[in-house]
Amino acid sequence: MIRFDCDYLEGAHPAILQRLMETNLDQTIGYGEDPYCQAAAEKIRTACGAPDAAVHFLVGGTQTNTAVIYSLLRPHEGVLSPSTGHINCHEVNAIEGTGHKVLPLPAENGKITAQAVEQAVLAWREDASWEHIVKPGMVYLSQSTETGTIYSKAELTAIRQVCRKYRLPLFLDGARLGYALAAPGNDLTLSDLTQLCDVFYIGGTKVGALFGEAVVIPNPDLIEGFRSLIKQRGGLLAKGRLLGLQFDVLFTDRLYFRLGQHAIDLAMKMKEGFAKKGYAFWCDSPTNQQFPILTCQQVERLSRDFSFDDYGPAGPDSRISRFCTSWATTQEQIEALLNAI
Amino acid sequence: MIRFDCDYLEGAHPAILQRLMETNLDQTIGYGEDPYCQAAAEKIRTACGAPDAAVHFLVGGTQTNTAVIYSLLRPHEGVLSPSTGHINCHEVNAIEGTGHKVLPLPAENGKITAQAVEQAVLAWREDASWEHIVKPGMVYLSQSTETGTIYSKAELTAIRQVCRKYRLPLFLDGARLGYALAAPGNDLTLSDLTQLCDVFYIGGTKVGALFGEAVVIPNPDLIEGFRSLIKQRGGLLAKGRLLGLQFDVLFTDRLYFRLGQHAIDLAMKMKEGFAKKGYAFWCDSPTNQQFPILTCQQVERLSRDFSFDDYGPAGPDSRISRFCTSWATTQEQIEALLNAI
Amino acid sequence: MIRFDCDYLEGAHPAILQRLMETNLDQTIGYGEDPYCQAAAEKIRTACGAPDAAVHFLVGGTQTNTAVIYSLLRPHEGVLSPSTGHINCHEVNAIEGTGHKVLPLPAENGKITAQAVEQAVLAWREDASWEHIVKPGMVYLSQSTETGTIYSKAELTAIRQVCRKYRLPLFLDGARLGYALAAPGNDLTLSDLTQLCDVFYIGGTKVGALFGEAVVIPNPDLIEGFRSLIKQRGGLLAKGRLLGLQFDVLFTDRLYFRLGQHAIDLAMKMKEGFAKKGYAFWCDSPTNQQFPILTCQQVERLSRDFSFDDYGPAGPDSRISRFCTSWATTQEQIEALLNAI
Amino acid sequence: MIRFDCDYLEGAHPAILQRLMETNLDQTIGYGEDPYCQAAAEKIRTACGAPDAAVHFLVGGTQTNTAVIYSLLRPHEGVLSPSTGHINCHEVNAIEGTGHKVLPLPAENGKITAQAVEQAVLAWREDASWEHIVKPGMVYLSQSTETGTIYSKAELTAIRQVCRKYRLPLFLDGARLGYALAAPGNDLTLSDLTQLCDVFYIGGTKVGALFGEAVVIPNPDLIEGFRSLIKQRGGLLAKGRLLGLQFDVLFTDRLYFRLGQHAIDLAMKMKEGFAKKGYAFWCDSPTNQQFPILTCQQVERLSRDFSFDDYGPAGPDSRISRFCTSWATTQEQIEALLNAI
């Protein structure tokens, strides 16, 4: 069985394990105040061109989304999100558990537009009952999105402008940022994100680490008490150095970017392979998640040797399927798949 | 200026004020444990044909919705609601403030169907990621609805059956129940609601009281500690007898039902009047909220002497308008309106 | 049976009921935006010498405490309160339901000191694990306190100075403020409170109204979106004018102050009566709550004709008893009690 | 610098890292449904003599405490905890963030008694205002405690009996359970805990793992939807196998117990060394945390070569100091310390 279900099937890049072995018996204080975290934060600041940014490390995405959103909203506010956003669909009551509504915006290919954000704000402002309605208090989006697409610099800049106009913090979920950065057509760098976002994170779990997300807050004064809030939400790892160490390795010799590139190269090869054999796609993804449409018969046959995700019906006798590559996918795995389809 | 904006424009039925005057200097203990509350609860039990039901009195609708929903859901669950439901639209983050998502269902004329409830449950059950998705944990609906429509006995029974099948408590928001009970075509009695709902409330604020909602829980063991939860949510009135007294008056000599009938009679007269003059309606409401479509010019002209709610555009040059009658509306007010249109 | 259990045994001052009758069929818009609320707010601003203050009306104390505290704290903060404070003892999980810990301070006679506040802040600051500990984020106290005592101007000013030093908002629960203002020895005026507190409220429920608390926020920009938060917490009364009307009456011709004085005069008479007959007191209260110590036999005998609260044992065979006067207590009731003891 | 600050200073036992290396490129599905987690759960069930128990793996203690407590309480309830309990002192607003109060009980040497639990329940039951007071809804305690002490089987059984009498779930925080199990005088086995607790967890973070806590729920039907709640609270690790793998190693060849024993042996050696040189102790701990009292001068001198925690003043010129051993402490480190004191 070769697995393409998701991008967190394997452990970590060997360089990370190697470093874990080497440092295993070092003694450090806990909760992210160790030299590994400091070194990693410094490297991330450099990579972002943001010498003053605050950098925090959390274990996983749901924790991170929850802590950031909780820290940025006032009690009567909610978070604008694509209807397909992870916080709206796949985190149970995590955001609601902080007292806030997720305000879904129409998502086209997983993305929202500056216009949709502005309309939501104006609809709230112009409603006679506005005081009875959750106020749009910030914007959440992800790069790459749940459907594999990416925002262009122009799109994100437009969203940013609306956010600034209405004083909405902009938060970018970068669980798959490594794959977005390497995508064909991508024109957004870490420095751009630092300019455009109020908070964003660089996902490790899906891009080479055992686990870990690095939150970047370009203006370090934006959130008071964020470390306490991370603790409160169960996200402050006792042996915090494990997080620092992993990001230190990922941001040494551009490993993070190289892993992203590797996954994208194989995803594009997979995409081409499906296309050549005449498969249609649910959406045109330039990243590591590909969504070919398979007949039910094809699904059944392929499932004997390969695993992949089912995203629901595409027609009376066909299914949307998701195949993911990752930093760990091999040429051989892709070739085996392409031979089988 | 004659007002038709809503159904809580005036104070209370004179019989209630009279009773307030008479009992003003009586001394009673607080928090709803006084003889007035006991008497009112008993009358409501009788009216519902539910000798064992628990009856609680709260001040307002948002409190009541919040307390009931909070008491019935497990942490990973959410509440199914029509997308137009009050809890989804007009209570800020009240439900989310208890840690739960409102799960909107498509609403046709403000109503949901048994089928839509079942589909939502099955969609959750059949999703491979169900453990990451808010579980539908109960059903909320209102009678009459936000758009003035009412559920028939057949419709509510069908919803009830689905709820029982999937063990979802069914909660009916009766802020405007008095008007639903008197609506032409209504075939649901308080006894029926007692049979069909796990919790429902009888709205006083909009039907003759200064304020107050009477929660009926047919199975008194359903919710443990509900009075504490009401206290916690700020709904336990110190001088609780004010609530008991009002419902005692409303359920004496069928006053509650007569007030409902009065408002419906005038609403039907208003509806007929608009129809006769050729106005179209946004939806066909048999209750005290009527939604004629007016041109912008008509809105402007009428607004000089009458107030009413704007529900948004109906076309390029027309608006959906809401006109409400209530227990306090007079024949003269309706006639003045019909003369003016 | 003559009742002295608490200060919310009766309805409202007759002038309020009179006004309710007169205005009953006026039509006003809801949720506190009516002329009655505006007039009442203006009178309160004048009484406080605070022409710019924001004034909001809520139904009850728990709602008010919850809404104010929720609006003032960051997620990792808690509220300092006397251990005997109402929010710590008698509001179930109301504050915790907003995600915040109540941080109890030692209470002497129901009061905290500036020193205790400062110690709590410093203890947090100096703890090596401060990021793991709830940050003291504001101060809550009540005037008069749960044990009937009052803060002097010097005491409250000292607390205020510590609050300012550490940027802690100071919130005063004035559920019984009317009685504190009239207490012998009181040297704090509404104007003083306006200078010293960031938020305080003027209790109506216990001082002549059917219900209602008037929140005063001297700096109107302090809390953004407070009306939405009130709505969210179920505290925005549909027929908000009922609140405005009551406070309008209470702040006409100094009625609020006169009612306070009346209750205090009778409380002092009661206190003197108990003292003359040799009863000891649990604490020396200058306000409308008196706490004489009765033998169990005396409790039993008095209970035949009078009701009063039990505050627990005072010794092996004696109990702390609470007797309250209020705006509605009569000379005759006091005399009957004094004759009986 | 040799560190004794805490018991999470190093990485993981080499056998765990070894296993991580070996399995790194295995492909498994996520979120704890992989064969590693199944194997580990099975081994834990065997070690507990609980073939039907539910076993869940979370990353850290605060997450675990929060998820378990949130899942067991009704909205109006709180959790009884020693005043020194971790949930009361060092998890910011984690529990309050789920809407529940922590109800502190007097702690003697970090422990509560059955009697104190019963008194708290009775105090609530017998209070006339019980409906306004948070209901004691469960009991939390830790083994070993924050001060290094342990409950005996008799003590825990007594607490259990009170819990059963009043239907309070009993939850044991076993972050340091490995050290308690190996403590001299301990008479509680994992099987005993399975009999006595409703929920408990076996701490990995402090006993040989990189991170991870294994929750054991002897009656698997106790908590519905617990995995969703873990997800919601950010505790469901994407690469869940990392948790399973670590506990699989720890429960192979009794490694978990041997690591506990190792730390205890060295702690007892340390304790003896301090005692021999005449140091007094803050409390008599049989586990891996030792609390000798040092003069300020001794603290200063020792701090040049050793790190340890400060627990506050013991007298005018002395401090309570905490020295921890762990699975990773070496004979050489202990000897260096004993030579230095």
List pLDDT tens digits, range C210-239.
999 999 999 999 999 999 999 999 999 999
Distance CA D318, CA D311 (A): 11
Q: What are the E-state strand segments in B37-76?
A: 54-58
Chain mean pLDDT for chain C: 97
Q: Are residues C105 and C80 in contact, defined by beta-carbon separation less than 8 angstroms?
A: yes
Nearest Cα of chain D lies from the Cα of B132 at a distance, in angstroms, of 6
What's the CATH fold of domain A256-340?
A: Aspartate Aminotransferase, domain 1 (3.90.1150)
Q: Which residue does chain B place closest to C63, by CA atoms?
A: B234
Residues 6+ positions from D223 with CB-CB distance below 8 Å: D54, D71, D72, D199, D217, D229
The pLDDT of residue C26 is 96
Helix residue spans in chain A (DSSP H):
14-23, 35-48, 61-72, 86-89, 114-126, 153-165, 177-181, 190-196, 226-232, 241-250, 255-276, 296-302, 331-340
Nearest Cα of chain C lies from the Cα of D33 at a distance, in angstroms, of 32
Q: Contacts of residue C71 in chain B, CB cutoff 8 Å?
A: none
Nearest Cα of chain B lies from the Cα of D135 at a distance, in angstroms, of 9
Q: Are residues D97 and C98 in contact, defined by beta-carbon separation less than 8 angstroms?
A: no
Q: Are residues C302 and C341 in contact, defined by beta-carbon separation less than 8 angstroms?
A: yes
Q: Which residue does chain B place closest to A74, by CA atoms?
A: B93
**Minimum-distance CB partner of A10 among D3, D14, D24:** D24
Partner-chain contact B132 D229, CB within 8 Å: no
What's the CATH fold of domain B2-8+256-340?
A: Aspartate Aminotransferase, domain 1 (3.90.1150)
Distance CA A65, CA C167 (A): 29
Partner-chain contact D231 A94, CB within 8 Å: yes
Distance CA B123, CA C122 (A): 53
Distance CA D232, CA B134 (A): 9
Q: Report chain D residues touching chain C, CB-CB < 8 A.
A: 75-78, 89-93, 95-97, 99-102, 128-129, 131-134, 309-310
Q: Which residue does chain D place closest to C5, by CA atoms?
A: D128
Task: Looking at the structure, give the CATH architecture of the domain made up of residues B14-250.
Answer: 3-Layer(aba) Sandwich (3.40)
Could you give phi then psi for residue B171, rounded to 5 degrees?
-120, 125
Omega before B144 within 30 of 0, i.e. cis? yes
The pLDDT of residue B49 is 97
Q: Report chain C residues touching chain A, CB-CB < 8 A.
A: 31, 70-71, 74-77, 98-99, 131-132, 135, 224-225, 227-229, 231-232
Partner-chain contact A101 B93, CB within 8 Å: yes
> DSSP character for C287?
S
The pLDDT of residue B215 is 98
Nearest Cα of chain B lies from the Cα of D70 at a distance, in angstroms, of 7
Nearest Cα of chain A lies from the Cα of D316 at a distance, in angstroms, of 29
- Tens digit of pLDDT at every position of chain A (341 positions): 999 999 999 999 999 999 999 999 999 999 999 999 999 999 999 999 999 999 999 999 999 999 999 999 999 999 999 999 999 999 999 999 999 999 999 999 999 999 999 999 999 999 999 999 999 999 999 999 999 999 999 999 999 999 999 999 999 999 999 999 999 999 999 999 999 999 999 999 999 999 999 999 999 999 999 999 999 999 999 999 999 999 999 999 999 999 999 999 999 999 999 999 999 999 999 999 999 999 999 999 999 999 999 999 999 999 999 999 999 999 999 999 999 99
Distance CA D220, CA D197 (A): 13
Partner-chain contact D93 C128, CB within 8 Å: no
For D158: left if phi > 0, alpha if psi spans -120 to 50, otherwise beta; the answer is alpha
Q: Which of B224, C325, C92 is nearest to D127 (CA)?
A: C92
**Minimum-distance CB partner of D27 among A3, A62, A242:** A3
Partner-chain contact C133 D102, CB within 8 Å: no
Partner-chain contact D75 B74, CB within 8 Å: no
Q: Which residue does chain A place closest to D24, by CA atoms?
A: A11
**Minimum-distance CB partner of C99 among D76, D91, D96:** D96
- Determine what percent of chain C is predicted with pLDDT higher than 70: 100
Q: Which of A234, A92, A61 is nearest to D93 (CA)?
A: A234
List pLDDT tens digits, range B101-123.
999 999 999 999 999 999 999 99
The pLDDT of residue C338 is 97
Distance CA B229, CA D312 (A): 40
User: Please, which chains are in contact with B (at least 3 CB pairs closer than 8 A)?
Assistant: A, C, D
CATH of the domain spanning D255-340:
3.90.1150.10
Using alpha carbons only, how large is chain D's radius of gyration in Å? 20
Is residue C292 helix, strand or coil? strand
Q: Contacts of residue C309 in chain D, CB cutoff 8 Å?
A: 128
Could you give phi then psi for residue C45, rounded to 5 degrees?
-60, -45
**Minimum-distance CB partner of A75 among C70, C77, C135:** C70
**Minimum-distance CB partner of C93 among D76, D93, D128:** D76
Q: Which residue does chain D place closest to C134, by CA atoms?
A: D92
Partner-chain contact C101 D90, CB within 8 Å: no
The pLDDT of residue D187 is 98
For residue A231, the Cα-to-chain-centroid distance in whole angstroms is 22
CATH 3.90.1150.10 fits C257-340, yes or no: yes
Distance CA B331, CA A125 (A): 36
Q: What DSSP element (H or E) covers B297?
A: helix B296-302
| Ranges of residues in chain B whose predicted pLDDT is under 50 | none
Residues 6+ positions from C335 with CB-CB distance below 8 Å: none
Q: Which of C247, C284, C318, C239 is nearest to C109 (CA)?
A: C284
User: Please, which chains are in contact with D (at least 3 CB pairs closer than 8 A)?
Assistant: A, B, C
Partner-chain contact B228 D71, CB within 8 Å: no
Q: Report chain C residues touching chain D, CB-CB < 8 A.
A: 75-78, 89-93, 95-97, 99-102, 128-129, 131-134, 309-310
The pLDDT of residue A220 is 96
Q: Contacts of residue A319 in chain B, CB cutoff 8 Å?
A: none
Q: Are residues A238 and D8 in contact, defined by beta-carbon separation less than 8 angstroms?
A: yes
Q: Rounded to two decimals, what is the model's pTM?
A: 0.97
**Minimum-distance CB partner of A232 among D61, D93, D228:** D93
- Tens digit of pLDDT at every position of chain D (341 positions): 999 999 999 999 999 999 999 999 999 999 999 999 999 999 999 999 999 999 999 999 999 999 999 999 999 999 999 999 999 999 999 999 999 999 999 999 999 999 999 999 999 999 999 999 999 999 999 999 999 999 999 999 999 999 999 999 999 999 999 999 999 999 999 999 999 999 999 999 999 999 999 999 999 999 999 999 999 999 999 999 999 999 999 999 999 999 999 999 999 999 999 999 999 999 999 999 999 999 999 999 999 999 999 999 999 999 999 999 999 999 999 999 999 99
Q: Which residue does chain D place closest to C136, by CA atoms?
A: D92
Decide: residue A149, CB within 10 A, 0-12 exposed, 13-18 middle, 19+ buried: buried
Domain boundaries, chain C: 14-250, 257-340
Q: Are residues D64 and D95 in contact, defined by beta-carbon separation less than 8 angstroms?
A: no
Distance CA B61, CA B151 (A): 20
**Minimum-distance CB partner of A76 among B93, B101, B134:** B93
DSSP lists the bridge partners of residue B56 as B215
Partner-chain contact B91 C9, CB within 8 Å: no
Partner-chain contact D70 B75, CB within 8 Å: yes
A35-71 per-residue burial string, b: 16 or more CB within 10 A, e: under 16: ebbebbbebbbebbebeebbbbbbbbbbbbbbbbbbb
Q: Which residue does chain C place closest to A223, by CA atoms?
A: C74
Distances (CA, A) of C155 to C158, C199, C330: 5, 17, 33
The pLDDT of residue A124 is 97
**Minimum-distance CB partner of C233 among B3, B61, B234:** B234
Partner-chain contact C31 A227, CB within 8 Å: no
For residue D140, the Cα-to-chain-centroid distance in whole angstroms is 11
Nearest Cα of chain B lies from the Cα of A225 at a distance, in angstroms, of 22
Nearest Cα of chain B lies from the Cα of C340 at a distance, in angstroms, of 19
